[in-house]
Amino acid sequence: MGQSVLEIGLGYGSVTRRLSRYTDQVVALDIAPGPVGFAAATTDRTGCVRGSALALPFADATLDNVVAIGSLHHTGNMELAFRECMRVLRPGGRLIAMVYNRYSYKRWIVSPIATLRSVIAELRGETNQGAGGVSRRVSWFWDRSPDGSAPPHTEFATQDQIRRLLGGSTNVSITSVNVDNPNDLLPQCMQRLKFDGIRLHFLNSLLSRHAGLDLYITAEK
């Protein structure tokens, strides 16, 4: 990856450190002081700034790449965050993002009614559903940290929603990936049925491809 890179949402900085191995033109941005300080302390070639994905402190069409792995769905307004990413990219610039899949197998298990409602709303052409985010319980279930806290806001995205948001872009690719261990989702009484070996591999690849936890997105402006 050449040229300038803006990374949004740093967490513990694992993506930041990888990016900074390839280029010294990385700017790492997060709304919280902790991740910014941590990135600054663990990378020496990276600019680290505090700022919001909802009002990126960059002029229109100035950056070559924007990378946002697991962050846009925590910003409080995922759609605005996507628009901000596209705003700061120069024509031909590239977005690489990961957001949670609203139709993952885990969503179907944890919140079947909400997920079904979402499918129906989407079939009806209602475009703004999901904007309020999910309950604290679901947010905690997906993202609890070791101290038991959960992010203040989590949204789930659909592939159609992202394609609509990236309407003016080219080479849009969205891939569903990642599964937890399906054994963890079996109720106690079914634990004897444990998936193993080939069955686990087959189930994992099927779930990952069609109802994975995450959607990986690449697009060019």
Residues that bind ligand SAM (CB under 6 A): 8-12, 14-15, 30-32, 35, 52-54, 69-71, 74-75
Q: How far is the CB of 12 from ligand SAM (least distance, A)?
A: 6
Indicate the residue among 148 and 197 with the shorter CB distance to ligand SAM. 148
Indicate the residue among 155 and 161 with the shorter CB distance to ligand SAM. 155
Q: Which structure tokens are listed for 1?
A: 């990856």
Indicate the residue among 47 and 160 with the shorter CB distance to ligand SAM. 47
Q: Which amino acid is at 117?
A: R
Indicate the residue among 35 and 130 with the shorter CB distance to ligand SAM. 35
Q: Which structure tokens are listed for 216?
A: 């990986």
Q: Which structure tokens are listed for 130?
A: 């999901």
CB atoms under 10 Å from CB of 182, counted, come to: 17
Q: Which amino acid is at 83?
A: R
Q: What residues have CB less than 8 Å from 117, skipping those under 6 apart?
A: 129
Q: How far is the CB of 134 from ligand SAM (least distance, A)?
A: 15
Q: How far is the CB of 31 from ligand SAM (least distance, A)?
A: 4
Q: How far is the CB of 197 from ligand SAM (least distance, A)?
A: 30
Query: For residues 192 and 208, what is the distance between their CA atoms, to the nearest angstrom?
Result: 23
Indicate the residue among 97 and 166 with the shorter CB distance to ligand SAM. 97
Q: Which structure tokens are listed for 166?
A: 């990236």
Evaluate whether 151 touches 35 at the Cβ level (below 8 Å). no
What distance, in Å, lies between the first and last C-alpha atoms of the chain? Answer: 16
Q: Which structure tokens are listed for 161?
A: 């929603």
Question: Residue 111, SS3?
Answer: coil
Query: For residues 94 and 16, what is the distance between their CA atoms, to the nearest angstrom?
Result: 17
Q: How far is the CB of 195 from ligand SAM (least distance, A)?
A: 27
Q: How far is the CB of 25 from ligand SAM (least distance, A)?
A: 18
Indicate the residue among 9 and 93 with the shorter CB distance to ligand SAM. 9
